[in-house]
Structure formats: structure tokens, C-alpha cells
């Protein structure tokens, strides 16, 4: 998925699999991002040692997906702005999210069934 129709692109998909994972339910979580700096990418802001709790928006979102994990949902969180951090490029961002869902469904270690129900949040 690229910024333009003819562009190829890549992104990071962070897959969170709880110990009590349901094998037929996936939540694609698209977090709120209000800037295009590399430190704003979800994969960066969720890593060990990040200043997650100093960012109220990300801390709030982490609370939401923590609840989902506790309920047994596998979650995929995309750096949907891509490596060039294209901000508010809706078509490209939508493709990144859909590609991330497809990649997660095909990721054997996620253990998701072929009948997995998907919710985008």
C-alpha cells in the first residue's frame, strides 16, 4: 500500500496475543495519532522504556486495548502512516490497516482460525 495508487509501501504491525486468546476474534485497533514524528508511531510509543504514560492520549488508548486483551481478543495495531509518516492520507492509511489485518490472519503464530471475526476500532 503506497501513498499513491502505483506506490508499494510497508509498515509495522504490532500483534498482541493474550494468553487467553480467542482463536476466532481479531480487533484491528487504529490509534489516534495527532502528529507525524517517528516517536508518534504506535510501535514506537508502546515499546519498553517509552514515555507512554506522559502522553495522555496514548495512555488512554493503551487502557482501551488492555481491556480487550484481558477479554481474550488478539489485537493488531498498525503504524498506518507508513515509513514516510504520511499524515492524513486516508486511502493509503486504509490500505495499511487492511493489509495489516490480512497479514495478521496469515501470521501462523497468531493462531487465528479461517473463520475469524474481525472488528476495526
Per-residue pLDDT tens digits for 44-84: 677 665 665 566 776 777 788 889 999 999 999 888 666 66
pLDDT, position 36: 67
The rounded distance, in Å, linking the Cα atoms of 108 and 121 is 23
- Whole-prediction pTM: 0.78
Residue-wise burial string across 38-58, b where 16 or more C-beta atoms lie within 10 A, e elsewhere = eebbbeebbeeeeeeeebeeb
Domain boundaries defined on the chain: 12-120
- 6 pLDDT band, cuts 50/70/90, is low
Instruction: Yes or no: say if 8 and 55 are a contact pair by the CB < 8 Å rule.
Output: no
pLDDT of residue 1 exceeding 50, the answer is: no
Instruction: Yes or no: say if 82 and 90 are a contact pair by the CB < 8 Å rule.
Output: no
Instruction: Yes or no: say if 83 and 9 are a contact pair by the CB < 8 Å rule.
Output: yes
Amino acid at each position: 500500500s503506497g501513498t499513491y495508487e502505483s506506490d508499494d509501501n510497508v509498515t509495522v504491525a504490532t500483534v498482541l496475543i493474550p494468553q487467553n486468546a480467542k482463536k476466532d476474534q481479531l480487533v484491528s485497533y487504529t490509534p489516534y495519532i495527532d502528529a507525524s514524528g517517528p516517536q508518534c508511531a504506535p510501535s514506537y510509543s508502546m515499546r519498553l522504556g517509552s514515555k507512554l504514560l506522559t502522553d495522555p492520549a496514548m495512555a488512554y488508548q493503551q487502557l482501551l486495548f488492555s481491556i480487550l486483551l484481558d477479554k481474550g481478543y488478539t489485537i493488531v495495531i498498525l503504524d498506518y502512516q507508513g515509513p514516510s509518516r504520511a499524515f492524513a492520507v486516508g486511502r493509503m492509511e486504509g490500505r495499511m490497516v487492511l493489509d495489516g489485518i490480512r497479514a495478521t490472519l496469515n501470521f501462523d503464530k497468531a493462531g487465528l482460525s479461517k473463520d475469524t471475526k474481525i472488528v476495526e476500532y
